[in-house]
Amino acid sequence: MAVLNVAVLASGRGSNLQALLDRAAVAAGAGFRIALVVSDQPGAAALERAATAGVSAVAIEPAAGERRAAFDARLSVVLERAGAELICLAGFMRILGPAFVDRWRGRLINIHPSLLPAYPGLDTHARVLRDGGVRRHGCTVHWVRSEVDAGPVIAQAAVPVRPGDDPATLAARVLSAEHGLYPEVVAAIAAGRLSDPGGIGPGGPVQPTMSSAEKK
């Protein structure tokens, strides 16, 4: 069976990356491998996790004054060179522009800590608790579109909101659900059981990306 080449983009601690690395390493026939980890933060723990797992890891920092489109084009070139067939955003804290999102449409997914469309954006756990009376919270994996935290939902995992929860206890419960959900979704995509309803999908034709130098 062909093994899907996955790239993971992460800015921080990388616990979802770890769940993906673990699944790729231990599950016989996971159907995917982590080919590359990219961070926009050179000190990100995610890069260390990749190195520990023997996976290529690279920091790509925005240069001073660099426009989003130019950064995104550099990122695309690195992903193409790594042969990425699916890109998993896992706590990647940079907004990716429409050209990047279109370029990777059908091959670009994100995990978000809420049951979308409820609670897009940041600080989801604190907002859930502040609202009061919310009984179910959770996480969502979705195909990425240009609008942040939008795009067709692939799968969700719900957890209860318990009396006495604070943002940290609720976050830990959701994170644990994330670690189960994300590898399941990636394995299902690798097995060809899921595809973006509006995209060409892994295995479809690859559109070459022009680097900013080539465009001039």
185 touching ligand GRF, by CB under 6 A: no
Residues 144 and 154 sit within 8 Å (Cβ to Cβ)? no
**Judged by CB, which is closer to ligand GRF: 7, or 139?**
139
CA distances from 141 to 29, 57, 82, 170, 189 (A): 22, 23, 23, 18, 12
Please report, as residue ranges, which positions from 95 to 124 form the binding site for ligand GRF (by CB under 6 A): 111-113
167 touching ligand GRF, by CB under 6 A: no
Tell me how far apart the alpha carbons of residues 10 and 92 are, in angstroms, rounded to a whole number.
Answer: 4
CB of 208 to ligand GRF, least distance (A): 29
Looking at 15-23, 126-134, 156-164, 189-197, which segment touches ligand GRF (CB under 6 A)?
15-23
Q: 């240069």: which residue's tokens?
A: 63
183 touching ligand GRF, by CB under 6 A: no
Tell me how far apart the alpha carbons of residues 163 and 62 are, in angstroms, rounded to a whole number.
Answer: 43
Tell me how far apart the alpha carbons of residues 92 and 11 are, in angstroms, rounded to a whole number.
Answer: 5
Q: What angle do CA 9, 10, 16 make, to 5 degrees?
A: 105
Half-sphere exposure at residue 29, Cβ-oriented, CA atoms within 13 angstroms: 3
CB of 12 to ligand GRF, least distance (A): 4
CB of 123 to ligand GRF, least distance (A): 11
Please report, as residue ranges, which positions from 23 to 82 form the binding site for ligand GRF (by CB under 6 A): none
178 touching ligand GRF, by CB under 6 A: yes
**Judged by CB, which is closer to ligand GRF: 16, or 209?**
16
Tell me how far apart the alpha carbons of residues 45 and 210 are, in angstroms, rounded to a whole number.
Answer: 31
CB of 11 to ligand GRF, least distance (A): 7
Name the nearest CA neighbour of 6 among 104, 93, 74. 104
Can 112 be counted among the known catalytic residues? Answer: yes
Q: Which residues are catalytic?
A: 112
Q: Applying CB under 6 A, which residues contact ligand GRF? A: 10, 12-17, 90-91, 111-113, 139, 175, 178
